[in-house]
Amino acid sequence: MRRFDIDRAALRGPVAVLMGGTSAEREVSLESGRAVHAALTHRLDGVLAIDAGADVLERLIAGGVAHVFIALHGRGGEDGTMQGALQTLGISYTGSGVLACALAMDKLRCKRFWQAEGIATPDFAVVDATANYDELAARLGPRLIVKPASEGSSIGITPVDNAAELRAAVALASGYDSCVLVERRVMGPEYTVAIVDGEILPSIRLETPRTFYDYEAKYQLDTTRYLCPSGLDARDERALAALAARAFESLGCSGWGRVDVMRDAASGEFAVLEVNTAPGMTSHSLVPMAARAVGIEFDDLVVRIFSASLARAARGGVAG
């Protein structure tokens, strides 16, 4: 097993884990935060667990917090908002910086950026209640997927195959975001690639009996299968790792994260769906699973992520 330790000389003050918050992913974030807090508490005394409500900055200041592990998912915690606040306060934090988090959370800008960079991602369009299924099907194909531009954990996402489903899906997604995307649905296996402190971990193949890897498949069902190793041959594994790293680095991401990718069953081509800058750390989560495949148990994974932020702070930054 691979062990990682905290450089206590790099600690400038108290440590806190931020969790919960007010996003649609609050419950998942609370579960992630509790697991991260327990892991850090095994190595450090006095680690604070803070549910990030309206008074979160006051609580950080009052506690003299110098370092934060961000276990927040979704808006307010993964979109650059919290990162900017922590940066202003001079508090070091785990994961990517302000701009990278903001880009990764905004699927529209992210996909436009990848298209400009020549990074494969499914074709898409921005839609509203007036969207015409026949026109979209002619452009993107008959199988589509509708999603809010700035949500995670597959919240508000619906696959569609006809006009009636499109109308309902756009209405659902609009309840989560004023910007709604419709994307060509890639028919084939889904993979995810975790990146931790510069190391690309083995890919995981996701298999679910549901229509797609939705919220229930991610967090609530025991029928989802996670294959690690994913079954790719060495050449394809290298290609997937390279694509994931390129997508991650193109946004300026750092510290740790996870890249979700589809593979077209017909062409064999990979296409990036999104980058998660603060992935889940629950019992069903994928980064811990990939870490275990290379001999890193959960506590050491948490310590490694946290230590990367300390190293970054020591070099004069606050993210990492």
153 labelled catalytic: yes
CA distance 162 to 146: 12
DSSP labels, 89-154? HT-EESS--HHHHHHHH-HHHHHHHHHHHT-----EEEE-TT--HHHHHHHH-S-EEEEETT--TT
Question: Which of 23, 92, 250, 276 does the annotation list as catalytic?
Answer: 276
Which of 21, 33, 255, 280 is labelled catalytic? 280
Catalytic residue among 79, 177, 214, 274: 274
Query: Nearest-CA neighbor of 102 among 130, 83, 121, 124?
Result: 83
274 is catalytic: yes
> What are the backbone dihedrals phi and psi of residue 76, each rounded to the nearest 5 degrees, phi first?
85, -15
C-alpha atoms less than 13 angstroms from C-alpha of 53 in its C-beta half-sphere: 4
φ, ψ for residue 275 (rounded to 5)?
-115, 130
Q: In degrees to the nearest 10, what's the CA dihedral of 192, 218, 263, 128?
A: -120
Per the annotation, the verdict on 276 as an active-site residue is yes
Does 132 participate in catalysis according to the annotation?
Answer: no
Q: Active site residue: 20, 21, 25, 74, which one?
A: 25
Which of 20, 78, 219, 250 does the annotation list as catalytic? 219
- Catalytic choice (79, 214, 260, 299): 260
17 contacts 30 by C-beta, under 8 angstroms: no
For residue 308 the two structure tokens come to: 């990367």
Residue 258 among the catalytic residues: yes
Which of 32, 153, 203, 254 does the annotation list as catalytic?
Answer: 153
CA separation, residue 87 to residues 16, 29, 285, 319 (Å): 15, 21, 28, 8
Q: Is 162 a catalytic residue?
A: no
Task: Please tell me which residue in 75, 258, 263, 304 is annotated as part of the active site.
Answer: 258
Rg (CA), the chain: 19
Q: Known catalytic residues?
A: 25, 153, 219, 258, 260, 274, 276, 280
